[in-house]
Structure 1
Amino acid sequence: MNTTRTTRRGFLSLLAAAPAAFVLPRSARADAATVLMIGSSMMGGGFGLYLGQDLEREFGCKIDRRAKASSGLARPDFHDWFKLGAKAREEANPDVVVCMFGGNDGQGIYMGRNADPEWYRYGDPGWVPEYRRRVNAFADAVAPGRERLFWLGMPQVESEKLCSRVAVMNEVYEVEMSLRPNARFVSTWDALTVKGAYSDHVVVDGTRTRVRSGDGVHVTPSGAHLLADYVRPYISEALRTRP
């Protein structure tokens, strides 16, 4: 598998186009923000953990992290994020919402037992419009007002079939978030890659480091740290500049 030589400093320098992070002094943290983090196993695992810890350490904010493995927006019969997302927002009263889905959504969309059709199979003409509707329904549920919403795209995965589906979903997220004044899509497509292509290893601080797990989808602890470093500056800017 290809590798690339990356130092932590060099990796972070790639983020020059992103807003720079800014550490607030402790005296400025009395009115701490609340960050609601929602997603599937990526958010529930090391990536979500490290991102939350980094934001808490940087800003003293409260982190409310809710995740369910194997979940997404395609199968509310398994885990209804539309209802549970609204409940989480009501309970947390967040200033910032961070969500990440997609790894489990490249499948048929279940419409309900008595629906016509009962399913939209992936590739059906109705699949993308229905998924687009669900992305907006979820965004409305978790960020209906003043909340800043950050929708994190999925990084590339090893399977070409799944990767093509992830790309379609990322495009939906990007387009729909661009239409919302308080929302932003954050692409992670090229994170953890070698010259823009999927790789399960990169070289970090001179050491060849595995960053992807054996399934070609999830990330190792090292990959989780690098991915958290990749997206954190965007969220940090929102926390730094919040009213």
Structure 2
Amino acid sequence: MLYKKSFSKNKKKNRSNVKRRRHNTINKREVANKSYKKREIAVNINTCLSARCIFILLFVTGIALMVLYYKSILIYWQQTYHSDLFHSNTLIEDSLSEEQSEESSEDAIAQTQDSTIIKDSKHEPQVDKNVNPIEQNHTVKPIIIQPDAIKRLSKDKIKDEILAKDKSLSDKNKQVESSIKKTLEKSNKEPTLSPVKEKDELPKVQIHDVPLIHQPLPIVLTENDKVFFAGDSLMQGVAPYVKKMLFKQYKIESIDLSKQSTGLAYPNAFDWPKTISDTLADDPSIKLLVVFLGPNDPWDFPVKGYAKYAKFKSELWEEQYRLRIANILSNAREHHIQVLWLAAPCMRKPKLNDGMVYLNTLYKSEIDKTQQHFLTTNELLGCTYEKFNSFIETNNEKIKVRVDDGVHFTPTGQKILAKAIMEKIIFKELEGTHSD
């Protein structure tokens, strides 16, 4: 009996314990489910907040970068595609006919090559009444040639202008003599005229502040000298051929730092004057600097101290651009280095072609001041600024020298320019060395 009672008691206790355990486990599961749901909600809220924050941060940084670098994007577009991104007239330019492109290029050349000889009225001699009218006629007015006009004229043009004026003066002398003879015959007076000697009494030309024109010294290099190539993508195609020819023929080494989409207009993107100055200072064996620039420069560019961009061809633009050319030439002169500057060739697009005509006038004038070498390229490539041509004719055959973009050269065109550079160089052997 005791056993049964004890058994029944234990059984009741076990049932109550099982119920308690079940209730506790159910409660624990509910609490766990509630806590898990809370965690899921918290995680979802945190992920949503973090995604929003990341998106907002990315959006703000993107706007900031666009605001900071929109100028550089415009500059890259101009340098790469040679057109303004928002003010481009490419569609209009492509629709222009060949006749309109020729007229625009002719107007550009007429503006850049306009040169006149002007008489100064202040220096006209006063006429004396007591002097014989024929002798008065022989006192020729002095011709004052302005320095700016003479810089643009060549020697041959100046001589032609002076000879033409001599002929006009001699014709006037003859007319005056004939008129005096007629008046004297009417008054029955024998004229006593002295013969006019045109050759002995030529008009005297007074030239003030005329710079003397000197030919640049020839480019002489030895085995110990180096050649430095600087320029844009035009130079990138020509420099390797010149390097190969120099080393193969004369064992002369070269340095090629030419870089695509560079020029003198945007020193913040790439500063050529500083790069050239540092390279010349680091390597004293450099004796020749070859420069080939232009297609990336005929655009507006910023100037320190001015809020707006300097417009292309404006006085401020030209002043700043000339200073950058002069900086390169002065650095070369300080290191006793000769410069060979290649003219920018004709371009297919009329607007870009007009820019090359203008830039070449700046290059040429600054080169003449320092008596350095300037190599024209149009004749070598068989084109002119009035008419673009991608081919040259040799032995009744047409050879393509320009790429379809109307800017760069084919390998044949690059070799032609490389040979022209080589013809400017004179090799001198060192004492004690003999060629094999």
- Map of 2:419 onto structure 1: 229
- Map of 1:147 onto structure 2: 337
Q: Which runs of 5+ in 2 are unaligned?
A: 1-216, 432-436
Structure with bigger helix share is 2
Is residue 138 of structure 1 aligned with residue 328 of structure 2?
Answer: yes
User: Which one is further off, 142-151 or 212-221?
Assistant: 142-151
Partner of residue 266 from structure 2, selected from 52, 72, 75: 75
Q: Is the 8 A contact 1:155 1:191 kept in 2?
A: no
SS, match of residue 202 in structure 1 = strand
User: Which one is further off, 132-141 or 163-172?
Assistant: 132-141
Partner of residue 216 from structure 1, selected from 380, 401, 406: 406
Residues 174, 241 of structure 1: CA spacing in aligned structure 2 closer, same or farther, 3 A cutoff? farther
Residues 88, 146 of structure 1: CA spacing in aligned structure 2 closer, same or farther, 3 A cutoff? same
**1:51-79 deviation digits (Å, cap 9, x = unpaired):** 22222223211111111101000000111
Q: Is the 8 A contact 2:346 2:383 kept in 1?
A: no
| Separation of aligned partners in 1, 2:219 and 2:336 | 22
Q: Using the TM superposition, give the Cα deviation of residue 43 of structure 1 relative to its aligned residue in structure 2, in angstroms.
A: 1.2
Q: Using the TM superposition, give the Cα deviation of residue 151 of structure 1 relative to its aligned residue in structure 2, in angstroms.
A: 1.1
Q: Is the 8 A contact 1:202 1:209 kept in 2?
A: yes
SS, match of residue 315 in structure 2 = coil
What amino acid maps onto 2:378 in structure 1? Answer: W
| Separation of aligned partners in 2, 1:38 and 1:242 | 27
Q: TM-score, normalised by structure 2?
A: 0.45
Is residue 109 of structure 1 aligned with residue 301 of structure 2?
Answer: yes
| Separation of aligned partners in 2, 1:199 and 1:241 | 40
Higher CA-based Rg:
2
SS, match of residue 370 in structure 2 = coil
**1:152-202 deviation digits (Å, cap 9, x = unpaired):** 111111112111111111111111111114x22122132212577421122
| Separation of aligned partners in 1, 2:230 and 2:407 | 18
| Separation of aligned partners in 2, 1:75 and 1:53 | 31
Is residue 120 of structure 1 aligned with residue 310 of structure 2?
Answer: yes
Q: TM-score, normalised by structure 1?
A: 0.78
Q: After TM superposition, list the pairs within 5 Å mapping 1:3-152 onto structure 2.
A: 31-45=223-237, 47-93=238-284, 94-112=286-304, 115-152=305-342
Q: Using the TM superposition, give the Cα deviation of residue 218 of structure 1 relative to its aligned residue in structure 2, in angstroms.
A: 0.5
Q: Using the TM superposition, give the Cα deviation of residue 206 of structure 1 relative to its aligned residue in structure 2, in angstroms.
A: 5.3
SS, match of residue 229 in structure 2 = strand
What amino acid maps onto 2:260 in structure 1? Answer: A
| Separation of aligned partners in 2, 1:205 and 1:20 | 32
- Map of 1:184 onto structure 2: 373
Residues 99, 128 of structure 1: CA spacing in aligned structure 2 closer, same or farther, 3 A cutoff? same
Structure with bigger strand share is 1
| Separation of aligned partners in 2, 1:187 and 1:240 | 25
| Separation of aligned partners in 1, 2:395 and 2:334 | 42
Residues 50, 205 of structure 1: CA spacing in aligned structure 2 closer, same or farther, 3 A cutoff? farther
Q: Is the 8 A contact 1:211 1:222 kept in 2?
A: yes
**1:30-62 deviation digits (Å, cap 9, x = unpaired):** x421111111111122x1111222222232111
Q: Using the TM superposition, give the Cα deviation of residue 231 of structure 1 relative to its aligned residue in structure 2, in angstroms.
A: 3.0
Q: Is the 8 A contact 1:192 1:202 kept in 2?
A: yes
1 or 2 for the larger relative contact order (CA 8 Å, sep ≥6)? 1
Is residue 158 of structure 1 aligned with residue 348 of structure 2?
Answer: yes
Q: Using the TM superposition, give the Cα deviation of residue 117 of structure 1 relative to its aligned residue in structure 2, in angstroms.
A: 4.7
Q: Is the 8 A contact 2:402 2:410 kept in 1?
A: yes
Aligned CA-pair RMSD: 2.9
Q: Percent identity?
A: 22
**1:57-109 deviation digits (Å, cap 9, x = unpaired):** 23211111111101000000111112211112123321111111111111113
| Separation of aligned partners in 1, 2:232 and 2:405 | 15
What amino acid maps onto 1:148 in structure 2? Answer: Q
SS, match of residue 126 in structure 1 = helix
Q: Using the TM superposition, give the Cα deviation of residue 223 of structure 1 relative to its aligned residue in structure 2, in angstroms.
A: 0.8
- Map of 2:39 onto structure 1: none
